[in-house]
Every structure is written in C-alpha cells, then in structure tokens.
Amino acid sequence: MSDTNITLSIMTEGWHTYQDKLSEALAPLTNEQLALRAAPNLRSIEELALHIIAVRAGWYHYCLGEGDDAFGAIAQWQEPGSPTRSASELVHGLSVTWQVMQDALARFSPEDLQATFEDEDNGEKYMVTRGWVIWHV
C-alpha cells in the first residue's frame, strides 16, 4: 500500500468516526431542536446537517461523477423552498452520502487523486483535482 493510500485510509477512518458521532447526535432530536440556532444569524442544526449532506452529494456526484441520479438529487436538499427534514431523514442522508464517499475513497488510487475536473462557480470555470474535492468536502 502506498503512503497516499495509507494516509487516505487513516483519514477515512477518522471521518467514519465523525460520521457515526454526528448521526448519533442528530438521531434523537425533535423538529423543534433541529430548528435551534446558536445565534439568530447562524444556521440551525438542521441547516448545518443539510449543508453537510448536500455538499457531499453535490461535489461527489456533479464534479466527480459518483453515485446515481437519486444520490445527485440529495444535493438539492438545502436549496431554498426544500422541505424540512426530520432527524431520521438527516441521519439517512448522512448514511447514504457517506456510503458513496466511502466506496469511492476505497477505490481511489494515488493517480486517481491527481485527476482534474472542471467545475463552475457563478459562471466562472476552474479546474480542481479529485484530491482537492476530497479535502474540501
């Protein structure tokens, strides 16, 4: 196993632990608790979870080409006008996105991490590496 794969394996293990802890913390929350904010100008607990879930799906599906169309649709969960999600839906979203990420991470070689992809932000196109996307997400 290369140094890159060992490093990625160690990071993935840490992310898995974080995934489990986050899911455990969200699971018992009521809709009222999910709506709580640390301050009025900050995201609610639900909005924070939705952001994590949607960003995972968006970057992995639309940029890296991972997952099916149903997985890609999860990227829309945080869009304005989207329905409120229950704790069980958020935990499911975390699980689904984590599984796609974990499957991809187990498959990527050091060369795969160097592959570049075109992305767009506000009409401006730029290049990112697969490794950068993994780090970013």
Residues 46-93: tens digit of each pLDDT: 999 999 999 999 999 999 999 999 999 999 999 999 999 999 999 999
3-state DSSP assignment of residue 117: strand
- Cα–Cα dist 90/26, whole Å: 8
CA distances from 86 to 34, 72, 93 (A): 8, 20, 11
- 107: domain CATH number is 1.20.120.450
Q: Which residue has the higher pLDDT, 2 or 97?
A: 97
Helix axes 45-57, 3-26, angle to 10 degrees: 150
The mean per-residue pLDDT over the stretch 102-128 comes to: 92
Q: How many domains does the chain have?
A: 1
pTM equals 0.90
pLDDT digits (tens, 9 = 90+) for 2-47: 555 777 788 888 889 999 999 999 999 999 999 999 999 999 999 9
pLDDT at 3: 58
Most distant CA pair in the chain, distance: 48
pLDDT at 88: 98
pLDDT at 14: 86
- Which range of residues forms the domain containing residue 83? 3-136
